[in-house]
A and B are shown apart, each in its own frame.
Chain A
Amino acid sequence: MRRTSIARGLVLGTVAALLVPAAAMADTFDSSSLPDSVGINSLWVVVAACLVMFMQAGFAFLEIGFSRGKNAGTVVAKILTNFSIAAVMYWAVGFAFAFGGSLGHVIGDTGFFLRDFGDPQKAFPIMGLSDATIEAKWWFQFVFCAVSLAIVWGTTLERIKFGVYILYSIIFAALIFPIASGWVYGGGWLQVNVGMQDFAGSTAVHLIGATGALAAVLLLGARKGKYGPDGKPRAIPGHNMPLFGLGVLILWLGWFGFNPGSTLNALDGRFTEVLLVTQMAAAAGVLGAIATNYWKTKTIDIGMAGNGAIAALVAITAPSGYVEPWAAVIIGAVAGVIVVFGVYAIDKVLDDPVGALSAHGLAGIWGTLACGIFTDPKLAAYNAVGKGGLVYNGSFEQLGRQALGVVTVFAFVFAVSYATFWVIKRTYGLRVTEEEEDAGLDISEHGMYGYPEQFIPTPELVGYGAAPTAPVPSPVASNPVSTQEVTA
């Protein structure tokens, strides 16, 4: 009885707390004095962010396509649950930790629940470069958090307990992602004091996600049967390459919000240049991956073509605001080569069903380092972060800053993620049982197959019968109404 009254008090207290920000938000809304640029830039940021949100569908289809048919439905439940948990956590504390600190911060301290922050330009100083409204900026940064979280689970498909998604996503969206990404592009110490360049998040989104994925797979282990008795890796083919292809194309589309949107500004026209750079890298990545894999196996591999596109897009994410199109082609092509060798090498020791460690991890590192090689000094000055790269001034200085950033972010994210997964493993458990893994996560975790008609025998499905035996009337038949009795 006492416990229920405490619980009721907690619920009422939360609801009361939520009513306050509604009042606070009314202060920031003043339509009469809104300059046109605020509306235009906010519109671009929101459109770009919606493209990035659509990448959730891309991740869903990519993972579903690369899973076996018995593990298809669980991905849908995971994406919806994670996207929702991340939204609440990022609104409550994540955005404040990432952006709510003075320049050079380690962890932000203003703007929790997006309320009581005063002047948004002062409360989120790095955001001052754009006059888009703070809600638009929050939405943009939150969908990046959701992308990073989605990347984590690529290595864990087909064997992880559903509750792990819930537990880790709370820590990830509240602490791991906001703190690490804040260092890199939230005005934190890596960006401001070190001068690390990461325009849209090769490190701050993709490497963070892939590092979480590495920590998860180290503690989770391989899928049953992935490694034969001789220890050699075996292919576990996904069940739907067209769905995988749709996922890749949706992600590719989403990237035109991801990179060009990171200008947070439509008025200077920079976003169209970023778009061109992004597209050239992606194209080169597909061609690089196809060529490399053809050289190795003499086949055009469907999965590798897609991995090449993703790897190149990941690699160009950091340099997209800093390099010229010619450099983008090189960065993308190299990423396409890296992802093929990465997938082959990683498959020997770690079971990564979608190739997330290569496409997001290795390509993310390459893209971040590529800034140190290819950054145009003019664009570095335009963005006011770091210096030009090796090919322009022959100096390794910027490359060294990039490497420091990669190592720091990797070490922080890996340590916290490994600790989180270790605690989950010791208390709740990471893996389903062997029987559940054999039966598939759809039926064992969710009580229903993703493709019921493939797994439930037809006689036990409701409303199914054999084809009617009567011939189908031809459209030119003189009598369109059949008088024959049709039997099932």
Chain B
Amino acid sequence: MKKVEAYIRHEAFEPIRMELLSLGFPSLSISEVKGSGRQKGITERYRGAELTNYLRPKVKLECVVADRDVQTIVDTVLKHARTGAVGDGKVFVLPVEESYRVRTGEAGEEVLQAHPDPAAATT
């Protein structure tokens, strides 16, 4: 089991989400984060005075999948998150030791399995 953790632009999320849904991966979490990288800060002006901002807003996308599915997720993120400009973000893959489904108490990889019918899974 692996967790794919991707820091991406806000506008990249929707196409990634749509493709993951169609591939059968509806389960993911996102959070709004601020961070800095090679992307430059921006300067705000407030009645003449200046304030420079180095932390830029990004979306953090987290998705835990079976080992065999990791490359699919990473490829999908890379495909849609890349504009070619500085600030596109980063993707990390982390090992996961165990997982449980809260509703049933099941454990193991089957709780992460790809859902073959995304339409049925979302309704």
Q: Which A residues form the contact surface with B (CB < 8 A)?
A: 438, 443, 446-449, 452, 455-457, 459-460, 462
Contacts and interface: CB of A to CB of B under 8 A. Distances in A.
Given A438-B10, A438-B11, A456 B45 contact: no
Contacts of A456: 44, 51, 53
6 contacts: A446-B45, A447-B43, A456-B44, A457-B34, A457-B55, A462-B51
Contact of A447 (B11, B34, B44): B44
Contact of A459 (B10, B45, B46, B55): B55
Contact of A448 (B10, B34, B46, B57): B46
A404 B93 CA distance: 69
Contacts of B44: 443, 447-449, 452, 456
Counting from the closest, the 4 A-B pairs by CB-CB distance are A447-B45, A457-B55, A457-B34, A448-B44
Interface of B: 10-11, 34, 42-46, 51, 53-55, 57
Contacts of B45: 446-448
Given A438-B10, A438-B11, A460 B46 contact: no
B53 A457 contact: yes
A460 B10 contact: no
Contacts of A457: 34, 53, 55
Contacts of A455: 57
Nearest to A438: B11
**Which of A443, A448, A452 has the largest number of chain B CB atoms within 10 A?**
A448
B43 A460 contact: no
A438 to B, nearest CB: 6
Contacts of B10: 438
A457 B53 CA distance: 8
A455 to B, nearest CB: 8
B42 A443 contact: yes
B15 to A, nearest CB: 10
Nearest to A439: B42
If over half of B's interface residues share one DSSP class (helix, strand or loop), that class is named, otherwise mixed; here it is strand
B65 to A, nearest CB: 26
B85 to A, nearest CB: 9
Given A452-B44, A455-B57, A460-B53, 18 more contacts: A438-B11, A443-B42, A443-B44, A446-B45, A447-B43, A447-B44, A447-B45, A448-B44, A448-B45, A448-B46, A449-B44, A456-B44, A457-B53, A457-B55, A459-B55, A460-B51, A460-B54, A460-B55
A235 to B, nearest CB: 15
Contacts of A448: 44-46
A449 B11 CA distance: 19
Nearest to B9: A438
A284 B50 CA distance: 50
A281 to B, nearest CB: 43
Contacts of A452: 44, 46
Nearest to A456: B53
Contacts of B34: 457
Contacts of B53: 456-457, 460
A462 B11 CA distance: 29
Nearest to A461: B51
Contacts of A446: 45
A447 B44 CA distance: 5
Contacts of A447: 43-45
A4 B10 CA distance: 48
Contacts of B55: 457, 459-460
A452 B52 CA distance: 12
Nearest to A449: B44
A446 B46 CA distance: 9
A455 B10 CA distance: 14
A310 B10 CA distance: 35
Nearest to B35: A457
Contacts of A459: 55
A455 B57 CA distance: 8
A232 to B, nearest CB: 15
B45 to A, nearest CB: 4
A438 B87 CA distance: 15
A448 B57 CA distance: 15
A438 B46 CA distance: 21
A457 B52 CA distance: 11
A460 B44 CA distance: 12
Nearest to A434: B11
A451 B46 CA distance: 12
A443 B10 CA distance: 16
A457 B42 CA distance: 12
Contacts of B42: 443
A452 B10 CA distance: 19
A73 to B, nearest CB: 10
A446 B48 CA distance: 11
A462 B42 CA distance: 16
**Which of B10, B43, B46 has the largest number of chain A CB atoms within 10 A?**
B46
A483 to B, nearest CB: 37
